[in-house]
Structure 1
């Protein structure tokens, strides 16, 4: 069979001739007969919904889950379609189905990229909870029941359950609860701030051993400038040299200490930690 024949066959499967059924559906009141015809139309158009779901298969979600979401969008499209408006069903249904898939990714997928194994565990556990809820009623399945149903270890089930509530990033403006159940401060209010004094301590510890190797006059100039906060003019007057000479000595000495710190692996790691 040629590719054109395959495409034509797929096109026929995706776009069945259901105009008469939709015209009849529009005349039926709510009841078993309408539900039966709606189900028939959904079944007829399901290949198209699955094809649309396949477009999203490489985004970390299980294909079966995506097909279920697409089928839900198809049910909504069948229920809302009115042939009296003159539009064919296919162009009406596609935006509804794709919109349902996009909402699924908006509400049920990760804000950040996580390992594929974690995504798969979450999807299996979520599907297992959904399937077991059909037989357990309102009771939530236990870890042991989920492990038996999904054929996962209990450790993997716990990891999947933890991931169920961990795919959405928490806003820094989120209000944190208190033990009394009242709203507490925002999450951002509980985050620490960078302490600039730490950087000063680290820098001093990094340069300290290299200062000891400087000539006496250069150590004295650095001390007066950076520890006693004296101006270059005051230093020059006290030492009996020009202010320009003090400026050159400061610049040369600081460059020398900086190079020594950068050439020392231990000091470089300390400064950039």
Structure 2
């Protein structure tokens, strides 16, 4: 213990920055040992001691690998890993300030839940552009962890039933979590999609068919047409569906054009009013 203190703390009681790291930037001593020694030193210092901040900074530097380890659990997210590490470092600092060495708990055991909690809060409160129930957010962490383990075990992406069986939860919850896990960023409708040949999402969406507004009208006309006598229904079909003139219709049916005109006028009046045909 005295050797570790001598390596990182000068006889004047000041921290030796070069004593924290050995060749290649690796910790000069075991991280757990170094952490324990630094906490012991921290507990000996009065709150207003100038050295206190240097010891605290050393504790943060030494335990950054713990933050990076925690951040790897979220590597499937779309956020840059360095941003996640920065957020996790806030959790590490909070853990250092709250840690009590006298309770006999190893610092990594105490700090890891605090670091993970800070990262989860970051994703919950600052990253998602769509609201996802907190239950699914928390369950997603378990699902993503199970997916990684099963991928390593089987050498392929796991299926929903396999994930559900591993976590002993319903398959519906797994599917809901998978959907929730993708709900982080909203894509612009005008943004080009590389896997779609550069087409924007808006270009691949359906458009509003103006003829849809006439569906109800066409259905009503069809209902009225079937009530017409055969001859009158044929006149309407020839005029408006076959686009024949009144003269052509009169030739087709063997009647005068005047008679065709009167019948058409009478038929259209009945159709507009919605009344049934009366001879």
Q: TM-score range by the shorter chain?
A: 0.3 to 0.5
Which TM-score applies when normalising by structure 1? 0.42
Q: Flag the structure with larger Rg.
A: 2
